[in-house]
Every structure is written in structure tokens, then in C-alpha cells.
Amino acid sequence: MSEVQRVVAGLRAAVDAVLSCSLDRSTAAEVVELLDELENAGCRLPAAQHRALARLQVETSAVQMGAKNWKDVLAIRYRISGSEANRRLSEAALLAPRQSMAGEPLPPVLPATAAAQAQGRITPEHVDVIRKAVDDLPGFVDATTREQFEAEVVRIATGAGPKATRDAAELELFLLDQDGPEPDDADR
């Protein structure tokens, strides 16, 4: 049994142990603490899924897995919708460690988001807001500013809900490009 298999077996056993616990004699404070820990663990688990998906895509192909593309591999294997499969694949592409063409390790595309998710400091909703905000950055924004923008939105997300994070990201985007996009011929 490999180290990963032992760790996953331990995770499964820990989940089984939590599920077998009776909450009948728990105080409200204990139940809130349980919910806090479950929320944190639930926010962290996608980071492990992203790493596993990225590794699987390096090791094999969708055709070898019995499907025409990776979306279908996930949708069929885990009985999820195509849109959910696409979401998972998109997040893995942005948040999992990568490899260069020469096989050298590269950081995730969104390193601050990946780190916050791995620590359980942001929810999947926050990840979606951050991803969309970074996608909305104007093309003239350089790599350093892009990283600073992502880090700032992540910092905001660790202390705010998704809507407040989205509003703050929109303000940051406005401050970066107050003139807006160049008018096209139709606007002129």
C-alpha cells in the first residue's frame, strides 16, 4: 500500500468516525466547532482533487480512460454534470501545481488562490469570484500587477463573503482601468 493509499484510508476512517459520533449530548458550542472544522476541511479538499486531476492528466489520456475527453471522464465516473466536470477541470488547471514542457515544476496559475484554498481560508464560491475577476483584468496589465491583484482579492476573500469579494474585485478592476475599454467602430 502506497503512502497516498494509506492517507486516503485514514481520511475515510476519520470521516467514518465523525459520522458515527452522536451529537445528542453536544452543546451548541461543540456543534458550532464541529461545523467550523467540517467547513474548513470541505474547503481544503478541492486542493487535493486539483493536484490529483493535474497528475492524472500527465500520466494518462482521456481516451485511455475510456472517454473522448476529460470532461466526459469525470462526468461518467463521478455521475456529475458536464458543467460541474468543466468547473473542476478549469479549477485544477488554475490551482494545481504544473509542469513545464521539460518536466520542471511550476507554481499554479493563481498561486495566492491555491494557497488560500489549501489552508481552507476561502470557499469554492470565493475561488469562482477570484477566477472571474482575474479573467476580467485588461490585457495591458503586467504579470506583477496581475499577481498583486490576485493576492489583494484573495486577502479580501479571507475576511468577506463572495458578494463582498466580488464587489471589492470590481472596484479594484475599475481602479486599474478607469477609462474602460477602447471604443470600437460601432461605438464611434
In the prediction, which pLDDT does 103 show? 83
In the prediction, which pLDDT does 184 show? 65
Helix (H, G, I), strand (E, B) or coil at 40: helix
Instruction: Please tell me what DSSP assigns to residue 181.
Output: S
d(CA 90, CA 102) in angstroms, rounded, equals: 23
Instruction: List the chain domain ranges.
Output: 38-176
Q: What angle do CA 90, 94, 97 make, to 5 degrees?
A: 125
Element (H, E) at 99: strand 98-99
C-alpha cell at 72: 466526459
| Tens of pLDDT, residue by residue, the chain (188 residues) | 899 999 999 999 999 999 999 999 999 999 999 999 999 999 999 999 999 999 999 999 999 999 999 999 999 999 999 999 999 999 999 999 998 888 899 999 999 999 999 999 999 999 999 999 999 999 888 999 999 999 999 999 999 999 999 999 999 999 987 776 666 666 55
C-alpha cell at 76: 461518467
pTM: 0.85
Look-up of cell digits 471522464: 73
In the prediction, which pLDDT does 20 show? 94
In the prediction, which pLDDT does 29 show? 95
In the prediction, which pLDDT does 181 show? 63
